[in-house]
Structure 1
């Protein structure tokens, strides 16, 4: 018996590409939707993600599971792999299964195999704090690819690296906030990021000396002091320098502008943007991408006490610009403004991308499966959307409406934090004030960062959204 957290990062199932199946190891096959007049393979529908367990008592080497791949598009392979992973996890909980073989269809493409590996890696993800023994994880998987097995191994390896980024994002965001304060997040980042990434943790004294008024204001109501997590990945010969900034609010009560109780428990995931940035840098280093990446995660808890900041306060950010506070529940933009101003002045990047669970307005606009992209350049917005498509994450470009920009202008301070108007757009326009006219993209993931039900490779809880997009975006600058 135990009462502890799962290990961070979660260990993903091993996936190996081999040429020949081994006798006596349970096997799964993939089946497409039959064309009109064709007989359904193994008597199953072939619908994407439909997994059936077959009776094979008389032949141990006959298929035990069949997973539908629908029209066999790459995304169908991802969904099928995820559904199969969940079935294998459940089977392993009932009987000891260490390895499962999956027979690939003939003429399968590299892209399809990569998507299958992504689904197999993430579909069986589980995060639970429990007093009981943990349930068995997904068994190891052998992909049977015939004579072409070597051609797929690289795709599987890369897919697993990106899947590990999504899983680490989920781990960090799912961790309960009685464990995950800013110091815990910073210390965990230092432990898991590896030797290729330099990690520097800035404490509250350093933040005060440097004038990080936004971070200090938001964190002032908590007994847990804020932190700034700095990451530097500096490969030789890098042609581009990318600055990533991720919101790291480890719990958000709303401060004096207190949130309603309903849904507040989900605020442990309010640092999902920061988690995505940490996990993405880890994957970028693992892939040895020739792109310089600097990342900043301003981490704080937004609590209620005598030290809380107030509506009506004037807060001075790093660099001296001042903000009129209108709503203490708009805390994400306060800490992000400090990090943006500092990162641009200190590191002088070529472009900037920030990621945050920033506004409930984006959940209304785009729902729970699509992230919003605000960008100062068309080419950058297109890169983000295309990177997301490669990663299997959906993005939609939102407008930076110039007619609304005057609403951010302050009267007592330089800018207003919560001026009213369309919430997602106004938040983006506020952040733009701290980007020094550099090429900049703001990714609002308030909707897709959390899931309330299973779909594709996502399970309830933190989804890991944006981590893979950030990796693919960095890779787009590597060529």
Structure 2
């Protein structure tokens, strides 16, 4: 990304200027602004109240400025969306350089600076993957300048990690296939500061025992990959793991999806992208917590070798699986990923994340992801992270009564109950069967929130959901 944040306090009328206000800071500034721009207070007050997303252009002779409101909410998404929408809508007008004036936010700045910076950087994101080349001159108040600069640098690292995750999801699956995904992870590891180990062949995954991933991959001409991302600081206070579903394209296999909107299925690695982005952000911020990411990546295609409904397959854990529906492939990948994580190390917490079920969308719509967990502490930490980041999740039950939905006559478990009722819960119960006893584990189903019709493109596009949530989860544990 070539969007440059320049903290030089350069004020110039030669380039466009964007000034940001909350409602309360604007109320204090209103009369002075009206005098400066030669406009009556009642008219200016009527035209601009600095509500979230509200903007106005003021002119006086050869001077021009745009005022943008972010309201008085401190909800991250409210502020980020208000700024991003404005920047996105006006990105062609501002050219290659503009000023971003934050000096009037005063004491509010510390609470809103991170979503503002995120909104600005995301506003310049282009779906075609072409990097923008823009210089943004930041104007800050003199008070607490050093602290604000640190907050800006951290916000930039998080935004850049989120942008990478969005790029991974939005890029067509003939480019980000399982090997392309591994290429990206290896390429970005040095930039963000984490270690990457990638396995790129069927023989390699067979040696690792990832039999369920290989079953999903059986119908594809593309080799699968398995990537392990590790960030290990000196004297970590805890050790956690993330497992991300990396299905780079999902036809549904033999249980094939309908053709309408199948092109959206390039997004079925949104969980893996969130894991990659979160670890990039954690490494970039040098948090004092060890984090390991596991990304099993494959596409789910159809040919004569494809796994079939009714087949019984092996898994990393040693348990056998009856495949009822080949379109319930993501949970097969997660089963191997979670089992691998459990056997690799005794992590303090394991969280898997995936665009997994339509059931979670039917339950929570496009506003929140589903969370299911076997541990109260893990669930509480994720809930706290959700509230802080405004990436909404809602806990669903994981009661043992749902186990009957994954019981099989011919294998240890089956991957689908045969009907869609309680689909998100049954998917989580299936994954839970591969979690070792006494492991603190949670499952996040982000099917409704990873890929959205959000106005930033002509079609659905990536949201980066999960990057900030997992980062904040790690931060909370690191600060305990």
TM-score normalized with structure 2 length = 0.89
Taking a change above 3 Å as real, the CA distance of residues 136 and 162 of structure 1, as seen in their structure-2 partners, is closer
Partner of 1:50: 54
Report the alpha carbon displacement of residue 39 of structure 1 after superposing the two structures with TM: 6.1
Partner of 1:197: 194
Between Structure 1 and Structure 2, the one with more helix by share is 2
Distance across 2 between alignment mates of 1:79 and 1:173: 19
Q: Is the 8 A contact 1:51 1:87 kept in 2?
A: no
Report the alpha carbon displacement of residue 155 of structure 1 after superposing the two structures with TM: 1.2
Q: Is the 8 A contact 2:331 2:427 kept in 1?
A: yes
The one-character-per-residue Cα deviations of 1:402-437 (angstroms, maximum 9, x if unpaired) are: 211132222210011101331000000000011112
Partner of 1:400: 398
TM-score normalized with structure 1 length = 0.89
**Paired residues for 1:69-148 under 5 Å:** 69-75=70-76, 76-92=78-94, 96-105=95-104, 106-128=106-128, 139-148=135-144
Report the alpha carbon displacement of residue 159 of structure 1 after superposing the two structures with TM: 1.2
Q: Is the 8 A contact 1:88 1:139 kept in 2?
A: no
Which of 360, 363, 366 aligns to 1:362? It is 360
Partner of 1:4: none
Distance across 2 between alignment mates of 1:174 and 1:411: 41
The one-character-per-residue Cα deviations of 1:193-214 (angstroms, maximum 9, x if unpaired) are: 2273221111211212233211
Report the alpha carbon displacement of residue 42 of structure 1 after superposing the two structures with TM: 8.8
Report the alpha carbon displacement of residue 389 of structure 1 after superposing the two structures with TM: 2.4
Report the alpha carbon displacement of residue 233 of structure 1 after superposing the two structures with TM: 1.4
Partner of 1:303: 301
Distance across 2 between alignment mates of 1:42 and 1:364: 41
**Aligned partner of residue 293 in structure 1, secondary structure:** strand
Distance across 2 between alignment mates of 1:20 and 1:184: 41
**Paired residues for 1:161-240 under 5 Å:** 161-194=157-190, 196-202=193-199, 203-240=201-238
Partner of 2:11: 21
**Aligned partner of residue 107 in structure 2, secondary structure:** coil
Distance across 2 between alignment mates of 1:72 and 1:249: 37
Which of 272, 280, 283 aligns to 1:282? It is 280
Taking a change above 3 Å as real, the CA distance of residues 13 and 145 of structure 1, as seen in their structure-2 partners, is farther
Q: Is the 8 A contact 1:21 1:144 kept in 2?
A: no
Q: Is the 8 A contact 1:165 1:467 kept in 2?
A: yes
Deviates more, 1:115-124 or 1:273-282: 115-124
Q: What root-mean-square deviation, in Å, do the aligned CA atoms of Structure 1 and Structure 2 show?
A: 2.5
**Paired residues for 1:245-256 under 5 Å:** 245-256=243-254
Count of residues in correspondence between the two structures: 458
Deviates more, 1:385-394 or 1:359-368: 385-394
Partner of 2:448: 447
Q: Is the 8 A contact 2:373 2:443 kept in 1?
A: yes
Distance across 1 between alignment mates of 2:318 and 2:107: 60
Deviates more, 1:143-152 or 1:267-276: 143-152
The one-character-per-residue Cα deviations of 1:151-197 (angstroms, maximum 9, x if unpaired) are: 31111111111111211110001110111211111111101122732
Partner of 1:464: 464
**Aligned partner of residue 193 in structure 1, secondary structure:** helix
Distance across 1 between alignment mates of 2:348 and 2:131: 46
Partner of 1:244: 242
Report the alpha carbon displacement of residue 122 of structure 1 after superposing the two structures with TM: 1.2
Deviates more, 1:428-437 or 1:387-396: 387-396
Taking a change above 3 Å as real, the CA distance of residues 136 and 248 of structure 1, as seen in their structure-2 partners, is closer
Q: Is the 8 A contact 1:165 1:468 kept in 2?
A: no
